[in-house]
Structure 1
């Protein structure tokens, strides 16, 4: 039976950061659940800033989500 993990985060992270997170999460799941690589599925969904709200504030209005923007 596959082990599935989905992470959602605001769009804008570097591709290297996303790839490293995928590797790290996969390794943790394989280790902790004694799973084989073909049993682990990890996805990262990047959310546009106009599709994310926290505490009634849109992500594009949150300074912490706009740091490091190109």
Structure 2
């Protein structure tokens, strides 16, 4: 039976960052659950900044999520 994992994050990450995160998460799942590579599915959903809110603030108004607070 496959092991499935979904990660949600703000849009705007580079392709390299996404690929590394996918590989890292898959590696941990394989190690921790003694699973083969073909048993693990990892998916990243990038969320547009106008589609979610945290603490009453839209994501596009959050400096830390827009790279302005880094």
TM, length-normalised to structure 2: 0.94
Q: CA RMSD in A?
A: 0.9
Aligned length: 68
Structure (1 or 2) with the greater helix fraction? 1
Q: Give every structure 1 segment of 4 or more consecutive aligned residues whose post-TM-superposition deviation is greater than 4 Å.
A: none
Which residues in structure 2 correspond to 1:1-70 (within 5 Å)? Answer: 1-67=1-67
Q: Which runs of 5+ in 2 are unaligned?
A: none
Q: CA deviation at 1:52?
A: 1.4
Q: Structure 1 stretches of 5 or more lacking a match? A: none
Task: Tell me, in whole angstroms, the C-alpha distance in 1 between the residues paired with 2:50 and 2:43.
Answer: 21
Q: Distance in 1 between matches of 2:26 and 2:45?
A: 15
Measure, in 1, the Cα distance between the counterparts of 2:64 and 2:54: 12
For residues 34 and 66 of structure 1, the distance between their equivalents in structure 2, rounded to whole angstroms, comes to 37
